[in-house]
Amino acid sequence: MRQLTGGRFPLLRFDRGEEFPAVLEEWCAGSGVGSAAIACGIGMLEETDLGVFDGASYTHRVFHEPAEVLSLQGNISMRDGKPFAHVHASLGMHDFTASGGHLFGGRVAVTLEVMLCLLEGGLVRLPSEGSFRPLDAAKP
């Protein structure tokens, strides 16, 4: 991963073979970023684990083949003391179909370019029962 621009809107490039969003979370931890909007992302992912939530649990589907990232957005918050990336993505397949949902993870196939908007104040994931943890503003 390489940070291409600085300031409030850093542009990050993820390279072939890197695991996303795990590498993003590592960069956030090392850079002191605990609150950000993932404004957009483009590139290619493979071995991509997408999920859809039914209100109680996720149904997963892994897309093994490389796919174009048509849309990628989300946020960074603190969960259990570490940066957590909540990411949704839409993928374009080689047969021109598309699939989307919650992005649990994927491997960068060629490149992935992601722009963040760093936010003032903090965001946290609240503890809760079950798999859903609501987003909230950090208490000063």
Question: Model pTM?
Answer: 0.92
Distance of CA 49 to the CA centre of its chain: 12
Return the pLDDT at 138.
84
Q: Which two tokens stand for residue 44?
A: 């290619």
Task: Give domain status of residue 138, yes or no.
Answer: no
Q: What rounded mean pLDDT belongs to the chain?
A: 94
Flag whether pLDDT at 131 surpasses 90.
no
Q: Which CATH number belongs to the domain containing residue 55 in this structure?
A: 3.30.1330.80
Task: Give domain status of residue 37, yes or no.
Answer: yes
Task: Give domain status of residue 129, yes or no.
Answer: no
In angstroms, the CA 15 to CA 110 distance is: 7
Task: Give domain status of residue 32, yes or no.
Answer: yes
Task: Give domain status of residue 77, yes or no.
Answer: yes
Task: Give domain status of residue 59, yes or no.
Answer: yes
What are the strands, taking DSSP E only, across 4-139? 11-15, 19-20, 36-53, 58-63, 67-79, 82-92, 98-118, 123-125, 135-137
Contact between 84 and 77 under an 8 Å Cβ cutoff? The reply is: yes
Residue 14 belongs to domain spanning: 2-120
Flag whether pLDDT at 21 surpasses 90.
yes
Task: Give domain status of residue 84, yes or no.
Answer: yes
Task: Give domain status of residue 38, yes or no.
Answer: yes
Domain count of the fold of the chain:
1
Flag whether pLDDT at 20 surpasses 90.
yes
Flag whether pLDDT at 128 surpasses 80.
no
Span 35-60, mean pLDDT? 95
Span 46-58, mean pLDDT? 93
Return the pLDDT at 11.
98
